[in-house]
Amino acid sequence: MYVAATITQKPEGATTYQAHRSTETIEARELSGSQILCEALMREGVELIYGYPGGAIMPFYDALTSYPVLHHVLVRHEQAAAHAADGYARATGKVGVCVATSGPGATNLVTGLATAYMDSTPIVAITGQVARPFIGRDAFQETDILGVTQPITKHNFLVQRVEDLADIVHEAFKLARGGRPGPVVIDVPKDVQILKTQYRDSVSISSIERFRATRAPHPSAEAIARATELIKGAQRPLIMSGHGVILANAYAELHAFAEKTNIPVITTLLGLSAFPETHPLALGMPGMHGPAHVNRAIGEADLIIGVGLRFDDRVTGKASEFAPHARFIHIDIDPSEMHKVKRATVPIVSDAKEGLARLIEAVEEGDNSTWINEVRRWEAENSERSESIQRNQEYPDPTSILEAIRAETKDEAIIVTDVGQHQMWTARHYTWTRPNSHITSGGLGTMGFALPAAMGVKMGIPDATVWVVAGDGGIQMNIQELATLKQEGITVKVAIMNNGYLGMVRQWQHFFHNGNYSETPITGPDYIKLADAYGLTGMRVTKREDVEAAVLKAMNTEGTVLIDFVIESEANVYPMVAPGSAITNMIEESPNHE
């Protein structure tokens, strides 16, 4: 609760925000654009802002010190501000906020915005802009950030009048979280931040109502009836659940629907942890690095019930050969996802939660034990094969690292992964049981995502144990955020799977470029010294037998800890589907490869 001491015309009795809100008659106060920004952010329930000051955003930073309820986290690079806001949003379901100055500050947000856009996470980015008279004149630190971010945001605003500012902020939040969530940019010219106007603690509803895009559609009764018919007639049905299930908080519905219909559940990369992998109906992840039995099941399926996913090419492989015998029921909140990749026999435009709830009511109890047994038989065949392969026992291997983290955190950690081989190993071999415990950049595949995103996750859910799993390439991309972690006293534990390569690219070079390891060998710093230099703790693990002890020690050490796990240098992620190939056509591990 803030005390409105700095506000020039304090309304009677409105000493706290809550009290102020409940006041029936809303009096106008004269506030500057910067103060209005802060007021509006508070009204939206914002507690955390990740940002970096600079010339064109200085009036906002000046006002910020009078609003201690808005906790600002000074990152070391604006990209990290966007990822941290993204991580916060993914973990909490609330809108993440990041702030940057004009020009380079704003352009540094771009990768983070694109990441959030591809994975449909709600963030609001506030950027400073040069003063209105300078816009369009190539002023110092001027960038047309509206033009730059247009294709990677749900919407963006240039605030042309200070009178519009409050409404725009509220509209931006509504847009970011409404419907299919996504990032929204508000570009605020410096003079607009300084100018004063009458501010009322009210939201002009009419201006919000015009944004039709935020309305959540409802499934039609006809679509539900047709879907029910298809489900009833299916012999080899599959549920494919994606990020939409997590965004809609539809875990219970997914669970109930799968159990009632007895249909096995596949979870996409961003859908991982939406359905407990210990459940008898859980199959695993599909696509490029999905286990063979999952892709084979898709190849044989006669019905795919897609819930909150967009049939990304890493999931489908060659789209025309994806689930060739299947009809599709596609539940998604975004109508433009219907028929985009696969023509849906029954498109259901709806929130995953509502769509599933309606289906649960309509469907009859089913029994697919014959089909499930068949898939389980394929799974058993594959694991037998896999177990027969001789492996190097000396190095810490990804599975042993993940198992140790799972054991030592009693399966209660939130795991934030970066992008590459470690990401696929973690997706595959960490047994996901708790909803929303897996956070990763899926759609954009942004290296450097994990460390700053974990910062947002930890600050969003302070009680959670947060582990970063990253490669030695990606961790070096936003390594500067160790300083932010230290300054803020944020505790995340970092497991680096260090193989001295940009491993996933090296793997592609191995399979598709005749082993020509062009520019993939990579060195890194001494992570023990690096951690020490930042005032944190570092460790190195080079033997399999030391993995568990190291993880335990990290858990018992205060503050952020980096563990440099030196893993086998040329291990591959198996199985693998070549890009553009049918997913049933997998490159499997063979003894010759090792």
- Catalytic status, residue 449: no
Other CB atoms closer than 10 Å to residue 315's CB: what's the count?
28
- Catalytic status, residue 78: yes
Q: How far apart are CA 137 and CA 504, in angstroms?
A: 44
Asked if 335 touches other proteins (CB under 8 A), the answer is: yes
Return the number of the residue (156 or 423) whose C-beta is nearest other proteins. 156
Asked if 279 touches other proteins (CB under 8 A), the answer is: no
Asked if 137 touches other proteins (CB under 8 A), the answer is: no
Find the catalytic residue in 44, 78, 337, 589.
Answer: 78
Asked if 313 touches other proteins (CB under 8 A), the answer is: yes
Q: How far apart are CA 217 and CA 449, in angstroms?
A: 32
Shortest distance, CB of residue 147 to other proteins, whole angstroms? 7
Asked if 591 touches other proteins (CB under 8 A), the answer is: no
Give the strands of the sheet with 413-417, arranged side by side.
438-439, 413-417, 465-471, 493-498, 561-566, 537-541
CB burial readout 446-467, b (16+ within 10 A) else e: bbbbbbbbbbbbbbbeeebbbb
Asked if 336 touches other proteins (CB under 8 A), the answer is: yes
How big is the site for other proteins, counted in residues (CB under 8 A)? 27
Asked if 343 touches other proteins (CB under 8 A), the answer is: yes
What residues between 195 and 214 interact with other proteins by CB under 8 A?
210-213
CB contact at 8 A, 412 and 434? yes
Return the number of the residue (38 or 341) whose C-beta is nearest other proteins. 341
Asked if 327 touches other proteins (CB under 8 A), the answer is: no
Among 146, 256, 282, 522, binds other proteins (CB under 8 A): 146
Find the catalytic residue in 455, 504, 576, 586.
Answer: 504
Return the number of the residue (327 or 406) whose C-beta is nearest other proteins. 327
Part in contact with other proteins (CB under 8 A); list of ranges 227-235, 336-344, 453-461, 523-531: 336-344
CB contact at 8 A, 41 and 12? no
With CA atoms as reference, report the closest residue to 422 among 311, 515, 501, 478: 501
Provide the token pair at 321. Answer: 């050969």
Among 342, 406, 422, 428, binds other proteins (CB under 8 A): 342
Part in contact with other proteins (CB under 8 A); list of ranges 329-337, 407-415, 474-482, 491-499: 329-337
Return the number of the residue (146 or 216) whose C-beta is nearest other proteins. 146
Residue 197, classed as helix, strand or coil, is strand
Part in contact with other proteins (CB under 8 A); list of ranges 116-124, 135-143, 315-323, 440-448: 315-323
- Catalytic status, residue 141: yes
Q: How far apart are CA 331 and CA 219, in angstroms?
A: 9
- Catalytic status, residue 311: no
Q: How far apart are CA 248 and CA 244, in angstroms?
A: 6
Other CB atoms closer than 10 Å to residue 222's CB: what's the count?
9
CB burial readout 524-561, b (16+ within 10 A) else e: beebeebbeebebbbbbbeebebbbebbebbbeeeebb
φ, ψ of residue 550 in degrees (nearest 5):
-65, -45
Q: How far apart are CA 441 and CA 473, in angstroms?
A: 15
Other CB atoms closer than 10 Å to residue 433's CB: what's the count?
16
Q: How far apart are CA 288 and CA 284, in angstroms?
A: 13
Shortest distance, CB of residue 148 to other proteins, whole angstroms? 11
Residue 36 to residues 12, 31, 39, 59, 63, Cα–Cα distance (Å): 19, 6, 5, 11, 9
Give Cα 334 to chain centroid, integer Å. Answer: 18
Return the number of the residue (63 or 123) whose C-beta is nearest other proteins. 123
Asked if 164 touches other proteins (CB under 8 A), the answer is: no
Find the catalytic residue in 10, 27, 141, 488.
Answer: 141
Asked if 319 touches other proteins (CB under 8 A), the answer is: yes
Asked if 154 touches other proteins (CB under 8 A), the answer is: yes
Return the number of the residue (313 or 570) whose C-beta is nearest other proteins. 313
Beta strand spans in 399-533 (E): 413-417, 438-439, 465-471, 493-498
Part in contact with other proteins (CB under 8 A); list of ranges 154-162, 232-240, 324-332, 404-412: 154-162
Asked if 489 touches other proteins (CB under 8 A), the answer is: no
Asked if 581 touches other proteins (CB under 8 A), the answer is: no
- Catalytic status, residue 190: yes
CB burial readout 382-407, b (16+ within 10 A) else e: beeeeeeeeeeeebbbbebbbbbbbe
Return the number of the residue (45 or 335) whose C-beta is nearest other proteins. 335
Shortest distance, CB of residue 197 to other proteins, whole angstroms? 19
Return the number of the residue (320 or 393) whose C-beta is nearest other proteins. 320
Residues recognised as catalytic = 78, 140-141, 190, 504
Residues that bind other proteins (CB under 8 A): 146-147, 150-151, 154-156, 158, 160, 175, 210-213, 313, 316, 319-320, 334-336, 338-343
